[in-house]
Structure 1
């Protein structure tokens, strides 16, 4: 669509500017520089001129309500100025090589920077409410479509609401900054960095999609040992927002379909701390870089969380507490002091809940079951925060009431339920232990989500069922991807490791992953950190100033407030934003108020436009397509990949099976024997 639209307007511009005999010649010259692409990521400049970054290869990863979500697999940078006016610089080529492609995710019609709860509540409010709050609703001009005759004077149109993206999770915001005020907003496509995966749970022929989306924060972003703790603005390292979405795939529409989601967060301990890697060793010593007696940086961090998620904020700290020599315990003691200080000023009903649990100690014990303890924690957490569902409670929950369902927290509204508050899980690296803990909380939330949609009779899921095996595989892919992005290797300890059912071949894999992580931290993390700093616009190359690779440290790039002579100080007691505390337990970002309505824009579509027609947007009957393109999303299925092929077996994905009955385990055993 973009290519066709551009070619049409190139012809119009050429016709207006040049005589007719030069038109075909000019078009021919333009075609030499056209690159087949799916999207423009943005524009970047180093020491010479601007480059346009285009997506040349993509792969469909998921589908949410008819909106396709793609993974970017390859990009191309094209130099814009003509070579005749190009002034070469010796270091330009090195900057071009620094920018690399990582796991970016995009969607043309779905806002990935916001949660499903935001997209289905704030963006689907009655249009009259927005018009009543604003005297003149902001409508955007569609000059391109008016030129094509799609919108006529007095013609009927369809109005919708769109919002600005949540820039904390947008990774190409700096690349689009130069053009966002000059081009139409439909040309601005914001991408996120993280993970996206989708699997199909088949319940007696009824398809249910389980989607996992991870959004990495673009603030204080980096690699494992080079980014620890928090910066002076309250942004922490390795902060990832993980959202699991459950939907009944038999109805794709957001209006008529049934959707549910649950959000949780991981992130480094919000303190000023680091690890010295000048002398490489397996566990570098942890040092507190700056005294913070009034928990200033922690206050900034939790204020952001209250604004985004509401209350309660629950901290699950998996850092070691008992050690022969103080190492991880330094962080636990400081975090307890910070939370205790901040809680004394909050209202009692909105205080931060702190749950310490030494997961490593319980793993070594032969008498304790790690996952049983995590399951107890998960039940208490989900009951406090609740989850989002866009449908009122099913009538079956009234006919067969469950005691756990009546104790569920969150906020009940006429159209369904809202999640209020969030679980924040952390260990030292926020990788292996954190991923297992998040899986257990997600498994508990998944049971409640299935129960809310009337798919199971009790909000409880057991291990060794097809549904949990499918969900575990999804979370392991999620953990592997995040671990590669931050630590340089896949997960070392998985769910099977903590269940103590991992095969003997897993131990050798763990050793290899540990060595891979050690090698990455020692040799390649610095280059990846330079790439992130350059892509996010943290560092701007300037003639006459030191280059990125010549800087002794990037501390001042990520701690910009330290360069101010008179930094603004917040109150040590009233450390929260006043507007946020008034609306708790609801998240302030989702409250209908004047400040939030300014972020919304009334958008007008033509009644035949494809963006409002789900069938045409998904199936595209006006395009020449093939079966490979139409059914390119080959997601994992519980019936095909996990259910036994034996005749007479119960086809329910919630039936407990022996490990040797599943198709996955038999296939894995044959592959292991073959290798």
Structure 2
């Protein structure tokens, strides 16, 4: 935690306020670059109170602005550009040298500077080990920056380090241990700040091609044993969710669970879809693949309206693109197949995932439940290829019920719940386990509650949230000459700015893409390392040589008092600690399929299941079950879970044994003791242990000292070679170097050859 920087400056009807980030929490690390979640902010009025001209509505605007909870899933980094993908950021390291050169420096000096600054060596500086990593900072991609307007007036005045560009969405990182080798799986979701809002109030697209609930999800897999972007191994995969890019809406004034879908405006030339896919071609290149999950067959025409409009729009746009760069359209009625027994839904999604390359754009109606499960299956498929590319597995296949997929599923469920709360007002209703048909019966009652929560949120609180988002993103800027935000009958014209002005340069219906995009496909226009292109895109790049981080100080924080429990490494989900069975003799590979009763977590594997388990244990402790075989086996299963250190579990374990002892069943007690000892240690307790069990207890002496106590000890015997080595080290410390032998010379030559040749 610590003071961080300026999030922005905002003005309503009086003077300016500065919004400062005052608390932060580290959520992830990418090659030495820390990603932080905002924990708390402070809003300070800048002008002195003596010159303050008060306005009666100022306080109301402040309250609306503060309705955007900045401690809820907003993220920033001092040295890593979160608005761009890892692939884009790594292309910064690979730019031609002249892009970074100043007019006064020669090309040779720049090459030397490049090689110097791209080295990530540990070197001595005043006796402290230091590892320097240079920042990857460019002009951010403002579509995913949520405080871009708040920093607009000061970004060219103040120092770059003061500007904290924040993204909204989700960021999570988990550690996969493969036989002790750490692999980080990071999930970063960027929510678009264009046409942003809540479910039902923001549907379809605006006149600029920005769609509602557009989220870019990037999964990064890297070998965490190397903390460097240039020397480490990294893999990144991006997929997108977003509303159907058409003019459509739903009227919620009638207060019904599924308001009718209506197309608000005719768009025969797919102008809006063209603007949307032009944005995607610039950012991702080709091919762009649409996975449309809305219903095809319905008794009453509802969702089908969207498919019947989207498919002709894609056909229309594709006829003008080169065949190799066409938008691919794939429609699959996921809801119908979930209810029927025609096929396994996840198997079909897995087949779809195997056959898509490029960037996948998934949508259902809301882009929540169906979309999240589909994205999880595509992400699971991509994860297999990422681990395969990094040399972690021998074939690109991952199975369910492995530690690896359980860890990834939990990460994706957190991601889905977070995005669903932001747009729909509740957590996910249908989860991966729902589609796997392994969700427990208690899940159905939860689904009903989530549906009601979502409905309540949409009906009563979403309008206030929408006002807060409009004010925070400065879509609406208060002034004396215009109606107040709460007086507007609709925010339609705030988000459809182009409708208020005559178009000066109407875009062609046939050549619907931006100039220059086609010439570089399938490479995205934004990532082409060409100086001419960079000038066209008007990207103002910061000098990355000025930005540097000392990883040692950043990670270990020797300058401040820290709490061990809050340390990032401890808080991170760990596959070995939280998913691997605790019993002896189990294959430790995270790619081994395990039965539910073998796993370190319960079948649900979610946060709510932990609470349920805890409640069950406390109930069992207060009213112990009859001492049957089933009760004993369930107790031993509970022991293997990760909440084993609470008092309730201890009392539950000890209760059956106590009851049996009182009833005089000593034989039964012995059997229970044998069973409880057999599971963790692999041996049985008996009155006379067997010979093979005795061997287990035979150990070497605890200490190598003949006499060893708290009062005295005798020094150990040291052989001659060890003594000579020690004396040599002492002489070296005093500046007296002994003569080098042949082995030393060979070792030194090998070192020089590996290091510098």
* Shorter-chain TM-score tier: 0.7 to 0.9
Q: Which whole-Å deviations, capped at 9, do the CAs of 1:170-209 have from their partners, x for residues lacking one? A: 0001111121121122221100000000111000000101
- Contact (CA 8 Å) 2:89, 2:136: kept in 1 or not? no
Whether 1:528 and 2:465 are equivalent positions in the alignment is yes
From 167, 180, 192, the equivalent of 2:167 is 192
Q: Which whole-Å deviations, capped at 9, do the CAs of 1:43-72 have from their partners, x for residues lacking one? A: 111111111111122221111111111111
3-state secondary structure, aligned to 1:526: helix
Higher alpha-carbon deviation: 120-129 or 291-300: 120-129
User: Pairwise CA RMSD of aligned residues?
Assistant: 2.4
Pair 372,134 (structure 1): closer, same or farther in 2 beyond 3 Å: farther
3-state secondary structure, aligned to 1:654: coil
Per the normalisation by structure 2, the TM-score is: 0.74
3-state secondary structure, aligned to 2:516: helix
User: Matched residues in 2 for 1:602 and 1:513: separation?
Assistant: 46
3-state secondary structure, aligned to 2:237: strand
Pair 129,164 (structure 1): closer, same or farther in 2 beyond 3 Å: closer
Whether 1:247 and 2:222 are equivalent positions in the alignment is yes
Whether 1:214 and 2:154 are equivalent positions in the alignment is no
Whether 1:203 and 2:178 are equivalent positions in the alignment is yes
1:257 is displaced (CA, Å) by: 0.9
**Unmatched 5+ stretches in structure 2:** 111-131, 604-608, 620-757
Q: Which residue of 1 aligns with 2:42?
A: 76
1:425 is displaced (CA, Å) by: 0.1
User: Matched residues in 2 for 1:158 and 1:265: separation?
Assistant: 30
- Contact (CA 8 Å) 2:197, 2:469: kept in 1 or not? yes
Whether 1:59 and 2:2 are equivalent positions in the alignment is no
- Contact (CA 8 Å) 1:253, 1:614: kept in 2 or not? no
Q: Which residue of 2 aligns with 1:295?
A: 270
1:624 is displaced (CA, Å) by: 5.2
Q: Which residue of 2 aligns with 1:272?
A: 247
1:310 is displaced (CA, Å) by: 0.3
1:620 is displaced (CA, Å) by: 4.0
User: Matched residues in 1 for 2:542 and 2:348: separation?
Assistant: 49
Q: Which residue of 1 aligns with 2:56?
A: 90
From 625, 645, 657, the equivalent of 2:582 is 645
Aligned length: 583
1:627 is displaced (CA, Å) by: 3.5
Q: Which residue of 1 aligns with 2:539?
A: 599
Q: Which whole-Å deviations, capped at 9, do the CAs of 1:397-427 have from their partners, x for residues lacking one? A: xxxxxxxxxxxxxxxxxxxxxxxxx100000
Correspondence 1:503-518 to 2 at 5 A = 503-518=440-455
3-state secondary structure, aligned to 2:169: strand
Whether 1:354 and 2:329 are equivalent positions in the alignment is yes
Higher alpha-carbon deviation: 574-583 or 510-519: 574-583
- Contact (CA 8 Å) 2:95, 2:529: kept in 1 or not? no
Pair 602,240 (structure 1): closer, same or farther in 2 beyond 3 Å: closer
Pair 161,639 (structure 1): closer, same or farther in 2 beyond 3 Å: closer
Pair 291,629 (structure 1): closer, same or farther in 2 beyond 3 Å: same
3-state secondary structure, aligned to 2:571: coil
1:372 is displaced (CA, Å) by: 0.3
- Contact (CA 8 Å) 2:184, 2:221: kept in 1 or not? yes
Per the normalisation by structure 1, the TM-score is: 0.83
Q: Which residue of 2 aligns with 1:229?
A: 204
User: Matched residues in 1 for 2:134 and 2:30: separation?
Assistant: 21
3-state secondary structure, aligned to 1:537: coil
**Unmatched 5+ stretches in structure 1:** 2-35, 140-156, 386-421
3-state secondary structure, aligned to 1:664: coil
Q: Which residue of 2 aligns with 1:336?
A: 311
Whether 1:453 and 2:396 are equivalent positions in the alignment is no
1:663 is displaced (CA, Å) by: 1.7
From 233, 252, 277, the equivalent of 1:258 is 233
Q: Which residue of 2 aligns with 1:48?
A: 14
Q: Which residue of 1 aligns with 2:348?
A: 373
1:501 is displaced (CA, Å) by: 0.4
Q: Which residue of 2 aligns with 1:7?
A: none
- Contact (CA 8 Å) 2:403, 2:590: kept in 1 or not? yes
1:92 is displaced (CA, Å) by: 1.1
3-state secondary structure, aligned to 2:82: coil
User: Matched residues in 2 for 1:133 and 1:439: separation?
Assistant: 49
User: Matched residues in 2 for 1:88 and 1:326: separation?
Assistant: 54
User: Matched residues in 2 for 1:134 and 1:246: separation?
Assistant: 40
User: Matched residues in 2 for 1:513 and 1:363: separation?
Assistant: 19
User: Matched residues in 2 for 1:626 and 1:46: separation?
Assistant: 40
1:90 is displaced (CA, Å) by: 1.5
Q: Which whole-Å deviations, capped at 9, do the CAs of 1:115-134 have from their partners, x for residues lacking one? A: 00011123442424544999
